[in-house]
Amino acid sequence: MTTPPPVSALADAPQRLRSVTTGSLSRRMILIAAAWIGLLLFGGGFALDSVLKNAVTRNFDDQLQYVLRSLIASAEIGPDGEVVFARDAAADPRFLEPYSGLYWQVSAPGMPVTDAFPSRSLWDRRLAFGTIHDDRDVHFYDSKQFSDEKLRIVERDARLPKSKVHWRFQVAQSRSGLDAQITVLRRTLVRSFALLGLGLIVLAWLQTFYGLWPLRRVREEIARMRAGLSNRVDTAMPIEVAPMVEELNALIEHNERQAEEARRHAGNLAHALKTPLTVIMNAATAQADDLADTVIREARTMRRQVDHHLARARAVGRRGSAHSRADVWPSLESVERAVARLYRHVRIDVAGPRDLQVHVERQDLDEMLGNLIENAAKYGGGSVFVTVAAQAGFVELMIEDDGMGIPEEDRIRIFDRGVRLDSGKPGTGLGMAIVRDVAEIYGGTVSLEESDDLGGLLVRLRLPAAN
């Protein structure tokens, strides 16, 4: 006994024809999630970087401003007109160390920069100052006047006691410490957000993988069905996938039903042809005198059977389309014109709404109406009345004639193949059988009653409505 192949192998088995795809759904979902995560993290990181950078810079500026206020508060004019400090406001050792990175300078409008009063830390350098703007309020800015050192400068103009001019007080500090803090901050932000983004993308991948897992289960179940290991998708599925699985099972059931009908029709046709072929074989073997008549008679019987099963097979094949629909009124008009040319003495009247549609292929509707209206014209007394009405999801067509009608005990038998109650008129005895079979294939019904208005036969044909 051979062991069936694994499902994974079954899924990869068919190499003959591949479906045209539009890419991986998982990859598409992960890429969209990654792009959105990256955009949000970039925007959030940029905003957070700006906030933290401003906070660090503001703290740095507050320290410079504190030193500036201390200098202004303790400054006064000396005996020789120079600026001196009443108390030790500039006691920070960095002001005494040359090129320490922390400087102050006091200057006046019109004073050469070389005559300004600097801290010792400036040594032989001086801070640039101008008169373009008025710094009565505290003013912060960055400066690149020293090629080897970037400065953060705070300055303000103030009038000292016993002075007629506004002196400009400047405090400058190297930006190296501030820039180092910002660099560390940004490095921490980038690493943190990169780790967060990677974690979110991995989470999106896990979510996509787990979320699409039921679709992989459906694929495996279909592979099992193709291998003959099962005939339905019986695995429990999430509520989002369950409707698709139900439709898939319904489609499989529909195909099985069609296959079974095809097998049954083939068997019925073979059985129906077996007897006539046996009669012809026996007659030919016995070299009967009426062989020609026997062949003609049995061939006519076989043709009736073939016509019946072909009509039923066509209806079964077309029934698979859920979009099949036909307008009732144009079909009635077409059949009416055809029957009127065959039976010129018959008057055919049609009444009812003109906008009704049925879930039936137009060719099958024409065939059913053609059989019923032609029978009414053939066996009636000259008047045929067709009424169309809509009733609870169905379209009902009533075909009445003024003929002799059909006895109630024969109304069931008339639907059998080959049964003819009036053998004096031409026909195959298959018309009513075809109408019943085709109507049932589409979910409709056909019944025979007595016409109250015309006194003859009333055929009531009910078909599923499409509108």
The beta-strand segments (E) located in 70-184 are 75-77, 83-85, 102-107, 117-118, 139-146, 149-159, 166-174
Residue 252's pLDDT is 84
Listed by start position, the domains of the chain span 24-211, 242-317, 324-464
DSSP 4: P
How far from chain centre, in Å, is Cα 316? 32
Q: Which of 1-10, 232-241, 398-407, 425-434 has the lowest mean pLDDT?
A: 1-10
Residue 268's pLDDT is 65
The better pLDDT of the pair 414, 128 is held by 128
Residue 210's pLDDT is 85
Average pLDDT over residues 254-268: 73
Please tell me the pTM assigned to this model.
0.52
- Residues 294, 275 contacting (CB under 8 angstroms): no
Of 325, 317, 334, the closest CA to residue 370 belongs to 334
Say if residue 424's pLDDT is above 50: no
Q: Which long-range contacts (CB under 8 A, 24 or more apart) does 45-53 make?
A: 45/189, 45/190, 45/193, 48/189, 49/185, 49/186, 49/189, 52/185, 52/189, 53/182, 53/185
Q: Which long-range contacts (CB under 8 A, 24 or more apart) does 136-143 make?
A: 136/166, 138/65, 138/68, 140/61, 140/64, 142/175, 143/172
The mean pLDDT value of the chain amounts to: 82
Of 281, 224, 275, the closest CA to residue 248 belongs to 224
Residue 427's pLDDT is 42
Q: How many residues does the chain have?
A: 467
pLDDT above 70 as % of the chain: 84
- Residues 117, 95 contacting (CB under 8 angstroms): no
The string of pLDDT tens digits covering residues 177-191 is 999 999 999 999 999
Please, what's the largest Cα pairwise distance for the chain?
A: 161
The better pLDDT of the pair 313, 9 is held by 313
Amino acid at 235: T
Q: Which of 172-181, 221-230, 301-310, 379-388 has the lowest mean pLDDT?
A: 301-310
Domain 324-464 has what CATH class? Answer: alpha beta
- Residues 247, 322 contacting (CB under 8 angstroms): no
Residue 13's pLDDT is 44
8 band by pLDDT with thresholds 50, 70 and 90? very low
- Residues 245, 233 contacting (CB under 8 angstroms): yes
Average pLDDT over residues 137-143: 90
Residue 321's pLDDT is 47
Residue 10's pLDDT is 44
Average pLDDT over residues 43-63: 94
Average pLDDT over residues 206-222: 85
Say if residue 284's pLDDT is above 80: yes
Residue 195's pLDDT is 95
How would you label 364-377 residue by residue, b for 16+ Cβ within 10 Å and e otherwise?
bbbbbbbbbbbbbb
How far from chain centre, in Å, is Cα 17? 25
The better pLDDT of the pair 102, 232 is held by 102
Rounded to whole angstroms, how far apart are CA atoms 222 and 66? 78
Classify the C-alpha dihedral 280-283-286-289 as positive or negative: negative
Say if residue 199's pLDDT is above 90: yes
Say if residue 399's pLDDT is above 60: yes
